[in-house]
Amino acid sequence: MKFLIYSVNFAPDLVGIGKYSGEMAAWLAQQGHTVHAVVAPPYYPCWKRQPNYPRASYQRETWQGVDIWRAPLWVPKSPSGLTRILHLLSFAITSLPIMLWHIAWRPDVVLCVAPAFVCAPMGLLTARMCGAQAWLHIQDFEIDVAFEMGLLKGKLLQRLVLRMERWLLRHFDSVSSISSRMVERLFGKGVPRERIHLFPNWVDMSRIFPLSVESRYRKQLAIDRDTITVLFSGSLGGKQGLMLIPEVATLLIGRKDIVFVICGDGVMKPQLEQAAANLPNLRFLPLQPAERLGELLGMADVHLLPQCPNAQDLVLPSKLSGMLASGRSVIATCNPGTEVESVVSKCGIVVPPENPPALAEAIIRLADDRAMRLELGRRARAWAEANIGRDTVLRRVFGPIESPLANEEVHDAAA
């Protein structure tokens, strides 16, 4: 079959949506399908275009059997509500001629990945003009997040945008999302239940697994073997409640046996570094190569998953998959009834969001109880193996391949 994937973010991004869009495309190519991808140059999570991708040029390349077409886009230095919209609109405009060209290629499936939802109309039009299946995959509800977090404001604007979103969603043949709560939200937005599918993010279990030897990152950061390492690794974005970490590190500054590590890059990094300027128990690492991700995650004794309460049920953090696969204990900040709570409560500790004392108490509890840490880590790995292995997820979603989303198990999960 011929797949056309339409996604702003794509490989070689190491985190976030680009990582999953790239891995999905490569996996489809490995199964013998012909895959084209219309994407932007890599810029995330640093919000800086990579030097080998010129500012205003179109490029075509081949990567792991995928034919990639890159359209230029504007990357703001300081992303905000308005600049993010203009940023995504720039890609929707520049990618339009490439999508129109692909009508003649006649793909069997046009798969749009949101964000960016502004690309959905062109993806739908392309599918309709060449008779392909129109499939929208939602990694997060960017419109809901924008209004919940105050990036966009105004009741009239909200009603208008949500009405447009509802119309678009109802016109795709298939709409998928990454968690059961997000699937339920699709039904609430008017998508017929038979068109809704669960398509969770995954993890390569052969690359991320519990380490049997000490991670080299401990030596690199001068962390003793007996020191409890509390790790956050991922994009440093505004919707993750990351300022909680230096607050908790301040509360635990007297615990010489506990050290915090923040690994990643993004718009929040300068603020985090400023807040940690006088904290000897908080250290930073830049975004690490993909081939060292397993070793990085294995450095942790405890993984942290902070969440902004306004966005915690509108997104399911992709970084959670790697945390669980690493076989380490996890502490998440979220409210009862959210998707994150439903997962982490089985194999970790859940504390209320924006509550530094509660988070500090949970960290101390795990730091002082090695048996509990090991048991929660064992449960985390077992849950990951049963639910989010890469081949398990992708075979379930794309098989039988003649009808990529015709899978009764997925339908049941959406019900």
Whether 209 is in a domain gets the answer no
The neighbour count for residue 413, using CB atoms within 10 Å, is 16
Whether 211 is in a domain gets the answer no
Q: What is the C-alpha to C-alpha distance for residues 102 and 2, in angstroms, rounded to an integer?
A: 11
Whether 208 is in a domain gets the answer no
Residues 236, 330, single domain; the answer is: yes
Residues 225, 182, single domain; the answer is: no
Residues 239, 172, single domain; the answer is: no
Whether 26 is in a domain gets the answer yes
Whether 207 is in a domain gets the answer no
Helix (H, G, I), strand (E, B) or coil at 361: helix
Residues 302, 406, single domain; the answer is: no
Residues 153, 62, single domain; the answer is: yes
Question: What CATH number is given to the structural domain containing 86?
Answer: 3.40.50.2000
Which helix (DSSP H) or strand (DSSP E) does residue 179 occupy? none
pTM: 0.81
pLDDT of the residue at 236: 87
Residues 245, 341, single domain; the answer is: yes
Q: What is the C-alpha to C-alpha distance for residues 23 and 404, in angstroms, rounded to an integer?
A: 17
Whether 210 is in a domain gets the answer no
Q: Residue 112: beta bridge partners?
A: 6, 136
Q: What is the C-alpha to C-alpha distance for residues 278 and 302, in angstroms, rounded to an integer?
A: 23
pLDDT of the residue at 414: 40
pLDDT tens, N- to C-terminus, the chain (415 residues): 999 999 999 999 877 899 999 999 999 999 999 999 999 999 888 888 887 777 678 999 999 999 999 999 998 887 776 788 888 899 999 999 999 999 999 999 999 999 888 899 999 999 999 999 999 999 988 778 777 767 677 888 888 888 988 999 999 999 999 988 889 989 999 999 999 999 999 998 988 999 989 999 999 999 998 999 999 998 888 767 899 999 999 999 999 999 999 999 888 999 999 999 999 999 999 989 888 999 999 999 999 999 877 655 556 677 899 999 999 999 999 888 888 898 899 999 999 988 999 999 999 999 999 999 999 999 999 999 988 989 989 999 998 454 444 444 444 444 3
Residues 198, 221, single domain; the answer is: no
What is the domain extent for residue 78?
2-202+389-414
Torsion, Cα 336 339 341 345, to 10 degrees, reads 130
Q: What is the DSSP string of 101-164?
A: HHHHH--SEEEEEES-GGGHHHHHHHHHHHTPEEEEEESB-HHHHHHHTTSS--HHHHHHHHHH
Residues 191, 338, single domain; the answer is: no
Residues 158, 72, single domain; the answer is: yes
Residues 179, 254, single domain; the answer is: no
**What residues contact residue 254 under an 8 Å CB cut-off, 6+ apart?**
none
Q: Residue 284: beta bridge partners?
A: 262
Residues 382, 406, single domain; the answer is: no
pLDDT of the residue at 44: 86
Whether 289 is in a domain gets the answer yes
Domain count, the chain: 2
**Which amino acid is residue 208, in one-letter code?**
I
Whether 188 is in a domain gets the answer yes
- For the chain, the first-to-last Cα distance in angstroms comes to 29
pLDDT of the residue at 411: 41
pLDDT of the residue at 408: 41
Residues 175, 45, single domain; the answer is: yes
